[in-house]
Structure 1
Amino acid sequence: MGQVAWKALCLSLFDYKTEKYVIAKNKKVGVLYRVVQLSIMAYIVGWVFVVKKGYQDVDTSIQSSVITKVKGVAFTNTSELGERLWDVADYVIPPQGESVFFVMTNLIVTPNQRQDTCAESSGIPDALCYRNSDCNSGEAVAAGNGVKTGRCLKVGNSLSGTCEILAWCPVEKKGRPKKPLLANAENFTVYIKNSIRFPRFKFSKTNVLDTTDDSYLKTCRYGPDHPYCPIFHLGNLVSWAGSNFQEMASEGGVIGIQIEWNCDLDKPPSECNPHYSFSRLDNKFAEKSVSSGYNFRFAKYYRDAADVDFRTLIKAYGIRFDVMVNGKAGKFNIIPTVINVGSGVALMGAGAFFCDLVLLYFLQKSNFYRGKKYEEVRYVVFRCKGACGVAEAFEISTLGEEFPLKRGKVDSYAQELEEGSRSRGTPHTHDNIKNLEGDSALWLF
C-alpha cells in the first residue's frame, strides 16, 4: 500500500493543472469588466509608460559644477567716496563666483577707523549710562562695537550719555541710504556655466549650446528668443522672481536660480537641455519687516607712514544669487519594462477579482452564480441489499452529508465511469470498486 501511495505521489508531480472558467451571460458585469480593463490599460499605457516613462532606468544622482562671471560697471559720486567707478572687482563678493555669488548694490561707508577710544553709538541700549559706575571696565558692549573703559561720556548738560569704548573709532553711525548706490546694477549681466554628468549612463553635458558662431555668447541674452542662452540680466532675474530690482537693491535679498535637467537619453543628446526657474528665497514677511533684506560688513585695511593701522569699514547691502541644480536622466532598460508590465497584469487580475465580487454578492442572481462557480466535491456509495444484487446509491459530500440518487442520476454516473474507463484504455471491471465496511462500495472515478 505504501509503495502505491509513493508511486501515485511521484506521478502527480508531472500532472498539469489548469483553471476552469465559468462564463456568466450578464451584460452589466460584462460591461463593467471591459470598463475596468480599459481603465487599467489606459493607466498603464498613458500614465506609466508615456508620462512616467516606466520603460526607462532612471539616474537621479546628478553631478554638477557651476561657474559664474558677472560683467558691468557703474559710476557714483558721494560725499564719502567722491567720484568713483565701480567694476566687478569692487562689487562682486567673492570675486571667484561659483554656485553662490553676491552683487553689492548699496552700502554704508565708515572711513579712516583706527584702534582708539571713543563714545559708543547711542542707538545701542547696553551703552546708555548716567554715571561711570554704569560702565564696567573691560566689559564688552552687548551687540556693540567694543569694550567699555569705565567712563560715561555725556554731551553738554545731558543727564545721560554713552559708555566710552576701546574699538575701531569712529564707530558706524550712519543709516542705510534709501536709494541704492549702485542702481545701475540692474543692467549688469551674469554668465552661468553649468556642467553636469549622470554617472550611471556616463553622460555629460553643459548648458552652453554647441555652436560654431564665436559671437553667440557675446550677443545672446536669456529670454523667449534664446531659452538656452546662459547669460542673464540681473534685473530680469529679480523680475522673473516676482520682485522689483530697485526696491530689493536698497536693502538686499536672496534670489534662487533653479537649473533643471530632465534628459531622455533614448533621444539625441542635443535634445537634453536645461530649464531655468527663478524665485525669491529670503523671508520678506512684510514691507517693513526687521528680518527682511541681506547685508554684511567687511573692511579694507591700510597702514600709514607712521606705521599705524587704519581701515575703511563697509556695510554692504546687495542681492545674493544661489544657483541650484537638479535633474534626472532616463534610458530604456528591459528590467523596469518587465516589472511595470507585470504590475499591469496583476492589476488586470485585481479588476477581475472586483467584477467577481459584484457578480457573486451584489446582483439579484448572486446565489445562482455562486452555485455555478463553486462546486462541492462528492463521491457515490452503493449500499448493497442481500448479495449486492440490488443496491441503493448515495452521494456523500465532503462534510459527510448523504444525498439519495434517483435512477437517472445513477445511470449518468455509470455512463461517466464507463466512458472514463474506455478513454483510459482500461475496461470497466471490479477493480473500479472499493469495498467499504462490508456492505457498501465506493465508485471511483
Structure 2
Amino acid sequence: MTPGAGLYSARVAWRHSLRFRLALTYSALALALIALMTLGVVLLLLGSMERQFVDRLNERADTLAGAFTNTGGGLGSTAGGAGAYTLVVNPAGQVTYASPALRDYQDTGYVFGDLARVPVQNTTVRAVKRKAGDYGTLWVGLPEDDLLAARQSALSALLLALIVAPAVLLLTGWWVGRQALTGLEAAANLADRIDPTHSLSPLPLPAREDEVHRLLAAINRLLVRIEAGQAREKQLLGQIVHELGAPLTVLKASLKRAEDRTGDAEVARAALVADELTFTTQDLMQLARGQLELKLAWHYIPARTLQGRLDRLVPGTQFLGNWAGGILCDPDRLTQALRNLLANGRRAAGPEGTVTITLAETPEQVTFTVQDSGPGLPPELGEQIFEPFVSGAGSSGLGLSVSRQIARMHGGDLSGANSPQGGAVFTLTIPGAALGDEDD
C-alpha cells in the first residue's frame, strides 16, 4: 500500500462527506416544500375560519335586524341571553337596549363609534351594525376568543413543524444517503487498495448493474490500460539498458587499461564516470524488472570485503564502526544499495566535504549509517525522496528508490533524515546472520 493510502482509508470528515451534502440538500428542499405546503394549508384554514366567523356574525346581525324590522317588540326573546352582545342605539345616539353582557352601556351615550373590534370584559368582540327600523341602529358583536385561540394554535403548530422538521429530515436524509451510497463507499475502499507497484488485479463488480457497477468497470478498464502501459515502459527501458550495457563494458575496460598504462588523472576520472554510468544502468534495469522479478543470491561474506568494494567505488569515504565481522546478504545487491547512498552523499558534500559510513552489528540486525556534510534533505520532499525519479541533488533520482527496494528485499528497510549537526543521514538495516535459516 502506498504511504498515503492510510489517509484515504479513514472516514471522510462530515463536512466534506457527499452523504452529508446530499442529506443537507434533501433536508433543505424538503423543508422548503413542507414549509410552503404547511403555510398554504394554515392560510387556507385561517381564511376558512375567518369566513365562517364573519358569516356567523353577519347571519346573527341580519336575523336580529329582521326581527326588529318585521315584528318589533321581539327583542327580549331574540337578542337576550348572557352570551349575547347586542346594543340598540336610537337616532339621538343613546343606547336604549343592551344585552346582559353590555348592561353597563344601557341608557348612556354610544361610545364604540365605527370600531370593528372593541374590548368587552377582557374579551375582544368583533361588531357590525344594521338598521333597526324606527328603533335606530342595531349593534351586534361576537367574541373572537375561539377564533384567536385557533389561529394561535395553527401558528404554533407551524412554528413547531419548522423547528422539528429540519432535524428529522436531516437524520432521515443521512440514513437514506448512507443506505444509497453504501455501494459507492465500498467501491472507493476497493479502489483505494490499488497499488500499481505491486498488482493491478481487476476489482470485483457488484451484481446490480447500476452506476457503481459502471464506475468499477471503468476503473478495471483503466487498470488494464495502465498495466499495458507499464509493460511497454519496462520493455523499452530494458532494451535501452541492454543497448547501453555492451558499450559501457568495453569503455570501462579500455579506460582501465589506459589508466594502468599511463596513470593519467583525467583517464582515472573518466573511468569513475564510466562506473557511474554502469551503476545507473543497473538501477534502470532493476527498475525495469521490478522487485517481484528479482531473486537474491545469499552469501556470508566478511564485512571487510564489502568495505573494499565500496572504497573502490566511492573514493574518499570514511569507514567507522566494526567491520571485522561477517554479513549474510546478496553482496552485489547490497553493494549497489550502499554505493548509491555513498555516491549521493559525495555529490551533496562536494569534493571538500566528508562522507562516512558506520557499521553496527548485533545478532538480530546489521545497521549501515551513511552521513554526509552536505546541505541535507529538502524538507518539502519528505518520503517522496525514495520514489523513482525524485531527486533533491540533481541526480537521476533512482538511487534511493533502488536502495530502499534492495534493503526491503533483504528483510530490512531504508530511512533518511537530516542530522542535527547538518547534512543528511541514511540508515539501512538488514537482518543479522543469527536470524538466517541454514536451509535457505
Which TM class, normalised by the smaller chain length? under 0.3
TM-score scaled by structure 1?
A: 0.22
In terms of fraction of residues, the more strand-rich structure is 1
For the pair shown, the structure with the greater C-alpha radius of gyration is 2
More relative contact order, 1 or 2 (CA 8 Å, 6+ apart): 1
In terms of fraction of residues, the more helix-rich structure is 2
TM-score scaled by structure 2?
A: 0.23
